[in-house]
Chains A and B, each alone.
Chain A
Amino acid sequence: MKRTLPFVVPTALLLALPLLRIDARDYVLQVLTLLFLNIVLAQSYDMVGGTMGYINLGHIAFFGLGAYALGILYNAGVPFVPAVALAVLAVMAFAALISYPFFRLRGAYFALAAFGLVKLMEYVTINLNWLTGGSNGLKIDPANRTVPMYLVSLAVVVIVLLASWVISRSRLGLAMKSIREDEEVARDFGVPTRLVKTQALVVSSIFPAVMGAFYTWYINFIDPGQVFGLKIALTPVAMAMLGGSGLVIGPVVGAIVLYMAEEVIWTQFDELHGAMLGGVIVVVGLFMPGGLMRLRPLDALLGRLGWREDDR
């Protein structure tokens, strides 16, 4: 009970938020929806990036693909729910397909190739004009979906957090961690590394795919630069590392902190937002290799809540 309370109470409060009758309600919901999107991306990135130690700079490709797949299917007349399901399945299949060539690469090579994939996706969507609308983007029937999108995002946040927690304590999660620590040794001790890596990538692709599909539905319009941008690709990575990559609690904390920092920077300063964000990221990289949640006081707090993980 004590362990679940800090998780259940905020969730319940957030769930009740749309009932609020104030003028700024929709604005608040929109801000939180974007935060939820960031949490989902950071948290699911970290399944491969943190738990398994493969820095997947191409994670956003799953988001963009999900977004485009839904837009295309929906515009082709597929009803919404099956369209989401199909979009997510397509992304999972894509993840399984690329895992074979990409996971033959190690360390920095993998990070690079995955990063290149994002750029490749961007250009391919620009070039496949007939399918994607090219650089003009893709529209679906416009509607205000603020409240349903808010609730869906909240639900996905809860699911991704639970999934991270379950995975980190599972057989698969242990294999992923062993790959992070020393892939050759893991293989010597029976871990079928190739299979585990594929499974991890496919699982981690589900969440951005779902969010991508709902994102198109919510925002009504997407274009290649928006969903395959390099900075969108890197922000969830920075968030996970800020909070504490490899810890279940890390990415979500990092996402909240960095998102709030961005909001403050945007509202308090007129210029140089990117530079300030860059400064924050440099400081994290230099002085907090383990991220916020591995700092002593916060680690102690986790211990008191009973949330500290054995492997960290």
Chain B
Amino acid sequence: MDLAILVQLLINGILLGGVYAMAAVGLSLIFGVSGVLNLAHGEFLMLSGFFVYVVYDRLGLNPFLAVALVAPCFFVVGYLFEMGLIRPLALRKEHVRLASATLVTLGVALIVEDATSFASLGGSFEKSVDIFVPTLVLGTVFLPSLKLVIFAVVLALIAALFLFLKYTYIGLAVQAVTQNRRGAVLNGVNTFRINAIAFGIGTFMAAAAGGFEVIHSAVAPDIGLPLTLKYLSIIVMGGLGSFAGVALGGVIIGLGEALVGFYNPAWGQTVAYLLLVAILLVRPKGLLGK
């Protein structure tokens, strides 16, 4: 292969993987803290993309500003989602709780998807933002500066989350609950509040990813569940409780899709699931899982 093409594909893959990683880290946070498979994660991403589009379209705001406006609102959405719909399941037996939570989040996913498609005049209507930023050219390699900007913001957000988890009281509590729920309770951590906060942050990450999605490509009402599935694959691949693993998983999938997709776009979409199964064969608890 031409070296320049390879470099180009690597760059594209990493840029793509960054957005994957961010949304997946959000989902992983939720899963780690609450043990809930949030099947509505991708729907919040999609919904946020729509709101970003509406704010941009109706108010004429800069799309990045629109993301900054919309995404934080989704912290509240996630927080309330946990309080209203996930918390009532807390006392059920383990496998019953998993089943109930799967149902509830699936139901919410169906509602959000259908309502969005209803509100946006038919399901297949794709929304995307027109924004022109010049592409940088380094020799024979093209650096799409729009994606670079997004990548920088994504990195900043992931770093911020990492610092938050490492250095704040709430962040430490989140980690404690992820590692040992009962131990955390015994040490006076209010796990309900921590659950809600994890849902808030996780949903915020998804919402930010949704905003970037609409900026650099497009969103449509039916992308939610498939995206959730992709993020779930990334999490399983990376290993529960390992944010580094999840970030790595996101980048691996981004790279895989870019490289394979160059030769055959359809197989590119298959990479995530092939890798998922392949990695689980070798390491049942994911790449960096313990």
Task: Pick from B118, B225, B235, B280: contact of A272, CB below 8 A.
Answer: B118
Q: B115–A272 contact, CB under 8 A?
A: yes
- B106: A residues at CB distance < 8 A: 234, 238, 278, 281
Is residue B128 within 8 Å, beta carbon to beta carbon, of the partner chain? no
Q: A281–B98 contact, CB under 8 A?
A: no
Min CB distance B263 to A, Å, is: 12
Q: A127–B266 contact, CB under 8 A?
A: yes
A53 CA / B235 CA spacing, docked (Å) = 22
Given A116-B277, A281-B103, A289-B96: A230 and B114 interface contact (C-beta under 8 Å): no
Q: A284–B103 contact, CB under 8 A?
A: yes
A285 CA / B102 CA spacing, docked (Å) = 8
Is residue A168 within 8 Å, beta carbon to beta carbon, of the partner chain? no
Q: B114–A272 contact, CB under 8 A?
A: yes
- B25: A residues at CB distance < 8 A: none
Closest to B93 in A: A289
Min CB distance A296 to B, Å, is: 17
Q: Which of A263-309 contact B (CB under 8 A)?
A: 271-275, 277-286, 289-290
Closest to B105 in A: A285
Is residue A34 within 8 Å, beta carbon to beta carbon, of the partner chain? no
Q: B114–A278 contact, CB under 8 A?
A: yes
Q: A127–B267 contact, CB under 8 A?
A: yes
- A127: B residues at CB distance < 8 A: 264, 266-267, 270
Is residue A108 within 8 Å, beta carbon to beta carbon, of the partner chain? yes
Q: B280–A111 contact, CB under 8 A?
A: no
Interface 9-mer from A10-18, A117-125, A156-164? A117-125
Binding site for B on A (CB under 8 A): 53, 55, 57, 101-102, 104-105, 107-109, 111-113, 115-117, 119-120, 123-124, 126-127, 180, 230-231, 234, 237-238, 241, 245, 271-275, 277-286, 289-290
Closest to A281 in B: B107
Min CB distance A100 to B, Å, is: 9
A65 CA / B38 CA spacing, docked (Å) = 27
Q: Which of B92-114 contact A (CB under 8 A)?
A: 92, 94-96, 98-104, 106-111, 113-114
Q: B107–A285 contact, CB under 8 A?
A: yes
- B226: A residues at CB distance < 8 A: 119, 230
Min CB distance B137 to A, Å, is: 34
A214 CA / B89 CA spacing, docked (Å) = 39
A273 CA / B118 CA spacing, docked (Å) = 10
- A282: B residues at CB distance < 8 A: 85, 103-104, 107-108, 111
Q: B104–A116 contact, CB under 8 A?
A: no
Given A101-B284, A286-B89: A55 and B98 interface contact (C-beta under 8 Å): yes
A286 CA / B179 CA spacing, docked (Å) = 26
Is residue B48 within 8 Å, beta carbon to beta carbon, of the partner chain? no
A-B contact pairs, 10 of them (CB 8 A): A101-B281, A109-B236, A116-B233, A123-B269, A127-B264, A238-B106, A278-B106, A286-B88, A286-B89, A286-B104
- A109: B residues at CB distance < 8 A: 236, 240, 284-285
A286 CA / B107 CA spacing, docked (Å) = 10
Q: A279–B107 contact, CB under 8 A?
A: yes
Given A285-B89, A286-B88: A278 and B111 interface contact (C-beta under 8 Å): yes
A49 CA / B160 CA spacing, docked (Å) = 39
A115 CA / B99 CA spacing, docked (Å) = 14
Min CB distance A159 to B, Å, is: 26
Question: Top 3 A-B pairs ranked by shortest CB distance?
Answer: A278-B110, A285-B103, A282-B107
**Contacts beyond the supplied A124-B270, A127-B264: 9 A-B pairs with Cβ under 8 Å:** A101-B277, A127-B266, A277-B110, A278-B108, A278-B114, A281-B110, A282-B85, A282-B104, A284-B103
Closest to A229 in B: B225
Q: A108–B98 contact, CB under 8 A?
A: yes
- A105: B residues at CB distance < 8 A: 236, 280, 284
Is residue B74 within 8 Å, beta carbon to beta carbon, of the partner chain? no
Closest to A50 in B: B99
Q: A245–B99 contact, CB under 8 A?
A: yes
- B225: A residues at CB distance < 8 A: 230-231
Closest to B92 in A: A289
Is residue B276 within 8 Å, beta carbon to beta carbon, of the partner chain? yes
A230 CA / B102 CA spacing, docked (Å) = 14
A274 CA / B85 CA spacing, docked (Å) = 19
Is residue B37 within 8 Å, beta carbon to beta carbon, of the partner chain? yes
Is residue B144 within 8 Å, beta carbon to beta carbon, of the partner chain? no
- A112: B residues at CB distance < 8 A: 37, 232-233, 235-236
- A279: B residues at CB distance < 8 A: 107, 111
